Amino acid sequence: MKYCEKCGNQLLDEAIMCPKCGCAVAGKQPTKAQNEYAKNQAKGAAMIIAAIAIVVFVIVAAVIQYNG
CA 60 to chain centre: 33
Please tell me whether residue 18 binds Zn ion under the rule CB under 5 A: yes
Candidates 12, 16, 17, 21; binder of Zn ion (CB under 5 A) is: 21
Cβ proximity of 20 and 10 under 8 Å:
no
Binding positions for Zn ion, 22-51, rule CB under 5 A: 23
Whether the Cβ atoms of residue 33 and residue 41 lie closer than 8 Å to each other? no
Nearer to Zn ion by Cβ, of 2 and 6: the residue is 6
Measured over all CA atoms, what is the biggest interatomic distance in the chain, rounded to whole angstroms?
76
Q: Whole-number minimum distance, CB 10 to Zn ion, in Å?
A: 10
By CB under 5 A, name the one of 10, 12, 16, 20 that touches Zn ion: 20
